[in-house]
Amino acid sequence: MEETALALLGALVGGGLLGYFLTKIAMENTGVPIDERGLEISKLTSIRTLELVLLVTALSLIYSLIAKDERCTGIAGLLFAAVFFGNLVFRAYYSRKM
C-alpha cells in the first residue's frame, strides 16, 4: 500500500510540474497567452472530471457498504470526503478570488 501511495504522489507531483513548465515554455516561446476558448475547454474538462471522480467514489462507497468490507468502506469514505470537501474548498477559494 505504501509503494502505491508513493507512486501516486510521485506521479501527481511530476505531472503537475511537467504541466506547469510546459505551459510556461509554450507562453515564452510563442509570446501569446492561451486563448479563452482553450481555458474554457480546460475548465469544463476539469469540472466533468471532478464529477466523474465524485460519482465513481460514491459508487465505490455504496458498494463497499453493501459488501460490508470495513477496510474498503474506510478507504472509499476517505476518498469521498476528500473529493467532496476539496471541491467545497476550491469553490470557496475561487469565489473569493474572482
Between helix 36-67 and helix 70-97 the angle, nearest 10°, is 150
How would you write the chain as a 3-class SS string? CHHHHHHHHHHHHHHHHHHHHHHHHHHHHHCCCCCHHHHHHHHHHHHHHHHHHHHHHHHHHHHHHHHCCHHHHHHHHHHHHHHHHHHHHHHHHHHHHC
What is the tens place of the pLDDT at every residue in 43-75?
A: 777 787 778 787 887 887 787 778 777 777 777
Query: What are the backbone angles phi and psi of residue 34, rounded to the nearest 5°?
Result: -60, 135
Residue 34, pLDDT score: 62
At residue 25, does pLDDT exceed 70?
Answer: yes
At residue 13, does pLDDT exceed 80?
Answer: yes
Residue 11, pLDDT score: 82
